[in-house]
Structure 1
Amino acid sequence: MKGRTIVFILIIVTLIALALCWFWLQEVIVDYDLEKALHQSPERINCTIFLS
């Protein structure tokens, strides 16, 4: 019985965390400037940051 209670609490905590992350991501998506990102030319992208 104790194991079922722990699993139930773990599921509830996970659902709350998912809801909080979803709300946080909504603000991040709204703040992200898609037009600025799409107009960045490839010669200005520094590929060395991906190699280190």
Structure 2
Amino acid sequence: GAVFVTAEDIRVHLRQVSEAVKGDHFSIKTPEKIRPNDQLYKMVKAERRGTAHER
């Protein structure tokens, strides 16, 4: 199943940072164990621009 987490404490090189950038090896606290083959997705809120026929 999927695990949804809001990252509140992001760490790069064991130091707390406000954001991680592409290429950083980072860690976040999760409520469940994450395995090496699990995938991570960043979910961002999309702006709704209407349906295709409304444009």
Sort the TM-score into its range (normalised by shorter chain): under 0.3
Give me the TM-score of the superposition, normalised by structure 2. Answer: 0.22
Which structure's CA Rg is the greater one? 1
TM-score, normalized by length of structure 1? Answer: 0.22
More helix by share: 1
Kindly indicate which of the two structures has a greater share of residues assigned to strand.
2
Indicate the structure whose relative CO is greater, using CA pairs within 8 Å and at least 6 residues apart.
Answer: 2
